[in-house]
Amino acid sequence: GAGVSQSPSNKVTEKGKDVELRCDPISGHTALYWYRQSLGQGLEFLIYFQGNSAPDKSGLPSDRFSAERTGGSVSTLTIQRTQQEDSAVYLCASSTQGGGYTFGSGTRLTVV
Amino acid sequence: AQKITQTQPGMFVQEKEAVTLDCTYDTSDPSYGLFWYKQPSSGEMIFLIYQGSYDQQNATEGRYSLNFQKARKSANLVISASQLGDSAMYFCAMREGLTSYGKLTFGQGTILTVHP
């Protein structure tokens, strides 16, 4: 596609439920990144994929967070047993060799 | 350890004036890249300008220029002739290493408000 697509754009979930956030990167972009942005804050790195493997997952805050990428394309970020502190905007970006980073519009997650 | 520091939580500027947004960074890697992004209230991240650690010249893109002072580890963004549409959050970010891949580490951001 023309840009990085994220779905859903908004998600409200009850505390304790699992959620899945999806990122569809720009076609041909081999690198994919997940970030989290709390209200009025900077972007917190979560995980980076190169193809289907994750050479850097140092930013995942707990074992409730996991991510996978299949076919070198779509990625899913899963948060299990959501907590109120998980409420944030989750941003995905993709990049290619010699290119810059293109960000999606984000998924706003609200845990109630 | 904080690797990117933006010390100005908020900045105000008069329309048509120039403004400088501060950014300092910390890395032991001699190879790195520095980025500036704009985030309007809509939430999208808009790439503005890039400076590589080995670049001899300061980067410029239209009204944006990056004042790169390597010895001081600073990479300040200068916006000339401010416009009302420049009102947004601005983030400085760094990528370490030679590769053009890898995570960006972001600062906390500066909210710029342009007054008419």
Q: How far apart are CA A69 and CA A77, in angstroms?
A: 9
Reported as a single tens digit per residue, the pLDDT across A25-74 is 999 899 999 999 998 788 999 999 999 999 899 999 999 999 999 988 99
Tokens, residue B8: 């100005």
Q: How far apart are CA A79 and CA A12, in angstroms?
A: 13
**Banded pLDDT at B77 (limits 50, 70, 90):** very high
Answer whether residue B110 shows pLDDT above 60.
yes
In percent, the amount of chain B with pLDDT more than 70 equals 98
Residue A69 CA from chain centroid, whole number: 11
pLDDT value at position A41?
A: 83
Strand partners, B111: B10, B89
Least CB–CB distance from B102: residue in A35, A44, A48: A48
Which residue from B19, B3, B4, B5 is spatially nearest to B88, judged by alpha carbons?
Answer: B19
A72 lies within 8 A of chain B by CB: no
Reported as a single tens digit per residue, the pLDDT across B88-98 is 999 999 999 87
- Averaged over B78-83, what is the pLDDT? 97
**Banded pLDDT at B2 (limits 50, 70, 90):** low
- Averaged over A99-110, what is the pLDDT? 92
Answer whether residue A1 shows pLDDT above 80.
no
Q: How far apart are CA A38 and CA B3, in angstroms?
A: 19
Map tokens 């890039």 to a residue: B50
Answer whether residue A104 shows pLDDT above 80.
yes
Tokens, residue B102: 């890898």
Reported as a single tens digit per residue, the pLDDT across B18-50 is 999 999 999 999 999 999 999 999 989 999 999
Query: Is the distance from CB of A99 to CB of B100 less than 8 angstroms?
Result: yes
CB neighbourhood size of A100 (10 A): 14
pLDDT value at position A97?
A: 79
Question: Residues of A numbered 3-62 whose beta carbons fall under 8 angstroms of chain B's beta carbons: which are they?
Answer: 30-31, 33, 35, 41-45, 48, 50, 56, 59
What does the DSSP 8-state code read for residue B59?
P
